[in-house]
């Protein structure tokens, strides 16, 4: 329960996969199912279905804190992500990193970086990071040990900008899709994602309940 609104915790899942109902979206769906079963109010956004443009690198946001591009990304970056209690980004690995859709989305969040570091408009206390966890869900065809390593810094930058507490144990990874014949053939990934979503809501609910008692 969100202590400010008195409503269920808001869990936002954002899929950067252009392949509908593919491995990564299925992984995200299970995370959101677990979150919903724990009492969370869940929403899923599919970036590939939106009308958007890439960051122009104009740096106008360095002066205003506002992006000059008006498209479907704006309400997500200015309203949905900031208002969520838990945010889950989901992207398969394409060419050793996240998809172009997810990269475009994160690049457009540069406005938040500008608000923080150029204009000093945004500041997050340590408690905010704890109360707004971020998760990264990802799949890959290969099983090489560094297959996800190049995505982590990009995801970290996004979550840092929005004050979301993102740590290595918030990574839900499923390599070896080629070997397993897809996510449904993987022995643990979907169950793990479901449990992670459920625990994300339960742990945050418990923490906030303890704070209300104090």
Pairwise CA distance, residues 114 & 55, whole Å: 13
Which pLDDT score, from 0 to 100, does residue 148 have? 98
What is the residue-averaged pLDDT of the chain?
Answer: 94
pLDDT at 83: 96
Residue among 170, 174, 98 at smallest CA distance from 133: 170
Domains parsed from the chain with CATH numbers:
10-213 (3.40.50.360)
Per-residue pLDDT for 19 more than 90? yes
CA angle 117, 152, 65 (to 5 degrees): 25
Q: What is the Cβ-side half-sphere exposure of residue 165, based on CA atoms within 13 angstroms?
A: 14
Q: Rounded to two decimals, what is the model's pTM?
A: 0.94
- Nearest of 203, 36, 209, 198 to residue 132 by alpha carbon: 203
92-140 confidence digits (pLDDT tens): 999 999 999 999 999 999 999 999 989 999 899 999 999 999 999 999 9
């Amino acid at each position: 329960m969100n202590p400010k609104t008195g409503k269920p915790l808001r869990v936002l899942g954002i899929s950067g996969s252009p392949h509908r109902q593919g491995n990564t979206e299925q992984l995200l769906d299970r995370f959101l199912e677990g979150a919903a079963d724990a009492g969370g109010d869940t929403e899923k956004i599919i970036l590939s279905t939106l009308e958007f443009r890439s960051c122009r690198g104009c740096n106008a946001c360095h002066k205003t804190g506002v992006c000059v591009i008006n498209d479907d990304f704006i309400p997500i970056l200015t309203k949905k992500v900031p208002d969520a209690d838990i945010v889950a980004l989901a992207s398969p690995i394409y060419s050793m990193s996240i998809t172009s859709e997810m990269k475009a989305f994160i690049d457009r969040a540069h406005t938040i970086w500008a608000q923080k570091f150029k204009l000093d408009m945004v500041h997050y206390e340590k408690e905010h990071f704890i109360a707004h966890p971020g998760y990264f869900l990802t799949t890959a065809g290969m099983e090489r040990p560094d297959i996800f390593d190049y995505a982590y810094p990009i995801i970290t930058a996004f979550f840092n900008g929005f004050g979301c507490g993102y740590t290595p144990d918030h990574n839900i990874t499923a390599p070896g899709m080629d070997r397993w014949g897809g996510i449904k053939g993987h022995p643990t990934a979907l169950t793990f994602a479901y449990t992670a979503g459920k625990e994300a809501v339960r742990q945050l609910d418990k923490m906030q309940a303890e704070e209300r008692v104090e």
